[in-house]
Structure 1
Amino acid sequence: MFNELSTQSKAILHSTEVDVDERLQKLCELLKKTVPHYDWVGFYFKNGNKEELKLGPYAGAPTDHTIIPFGKGICGQVAVSNQNFVVPNVQAQDNYIACSITVKAEIVVPLFINGKNIGQIDIDSNTPDPFTEEDERFLEFVNTEVAKIYVS
């Protein structure tokens, strides 16, 4: 599944007919629709010079968490650690920000441009412990491709 999805993701991200936000929106929708355990897919980006993340394009239920301070929640922790964070059970996390009572697991992968963390892709799942190393590698690939459209 991820091989075909990689090809589709690249095609969306590198199609220059639409702006970057629209490409990211289409990508979020594709991932949410195609991967059964991706129930909410979105991007958060560093908010200017502030020590916080701002919600970018996403697919899934609306969220109140449009601004997340660095260090707060899973996304805020990734903004500080620069490391992937896979949470098999969100209820076992002390520093978790609940977006929905249906969310059981989360994966967040940082997005780097020239070695600098500028944001992340965030996926919520209503399935307990669904994320594998394959998910991580695929999302790292996606972020590498996203970085290319910001640099070009």
Structure 2
Amino acid sequence: MNFEALQTSVIEILQKKDFSRDEKLKNLCKYLSERVDYYNWVGFYFANHENRTLHLGPYYGAETDHTIIPFGKGICGQVAESNANFVVPDVSAQDNYIACSITVKSEIVIPLFVNGINIGQLDIDSHTLNPFTAADERFLEFVNHEVAKLF
């Protein structure tokens, strides 16, 4: 996958003048899902630090019951506490995993920082075992760097 080729479109989506922030994020999720064949569910969770919960934001993919996730629970909840990328090659090998669907085989979660504070994360599920590489991490860090400019 040539992630550099996708970067220009990511910026264009996020700079659309006539779209709200949520519309831009929803369009971004859809774009990523359509351009990377193993990105089967793409969405954002946003932190409520007072309540120590994550709240589902814009996403593209199958509906999920996981609209609120406590810090520490599941992969997303762990990233809310660790402030670090979390790549899960095989979700069945994770003790603290919240199953969204039996079709999900792997997951990558990248924290979203604004002014040094983890305000949320980009969460991607895949129906493929172990598809995520260091190139995915760098690309998704770039995506979140651009998303942070909306806040």
Equivalence map 1:86-101=2 (5 Å): 86-101=87-102
Partner amino acid, structure 1, of 2:96:
N
- State the alpha-carbon separation in 2 of the partners of residues 16 and 74 from structure 1: 33
Q: Which amino acid aligns with 2:14?
A: L
For the structure 1 residues 21 and 34, does the alpha-carbon distance in structure 2 shift closer, same or farther, using more than 3 Å as the test? same
Q: 2:108, 2:63 → 1: CA distance?
A: 18
Structure 2 partner of 1:44: 45
For 2:77, the equivalent position in structure 1 comes to 76
Corresponding residue for residue 9 of structure 2: 8
Distance between the aligned counterparts of 1:30 and 1:42, measured in 2? Answer: 11
Shift of 1:15: 1.4
**Aligned partners of 1:35 and 1:17: how far apart in 2?**
26
Partner of 1:137: 138
* Dislocated runs of 4+, deviation >2 Å: none
TM-score by length of 1: 0.97
- In the alignment, structure 1 segments of 5+ residues that lack a partner are none
3-state SS in 2 of match to 1:149: coil
User: Which deviates the most, 9-18 or 123-132?
Assistant: 9-18
Gaps of 5+ in 2: none
Q: Counterpart of 1:12 in 2: which secondary structure? A: helix
Verify: 1:28 aligned to 2:9, yes or no.
no
- Sequence identity (%): 65
Q: Which residue of 1 aligns with 2:105?
A: 104
TM-fit CA distance, 1:100 = 0.3
> How many aligned residue pairs are there?
150
Deviation per residue, 1:46-90 (Å, 9 max, x gap)? 136210000000000000000000000000000000000000000
Deviation at 1:3, TM superposition (A): 1.2
Q: Tell me the residue number matched to 1:66.
A: 67
* SS in structure 1 of the partner of residue 135 of structure 2: helix
Cα deviation, residue 117, structure 1: 0.2
Task: Indicate whether 1:119 and 2:115 are aligned.
Answer: no
In the alignment, residue 134 of structure 2 is paired with which amino acid? Answer: E
Quote the residue 2:58 is aligned against.
57
Aligned equivalents of 1:144 and 1:75: distance in 2? 18
Q: What value does the CA root-mean-square deviation take over the aligned residues?
A: 0.8
Whole-Å Cα distance in 1 between the matches of residues 100 and 48 of structure 2? 20
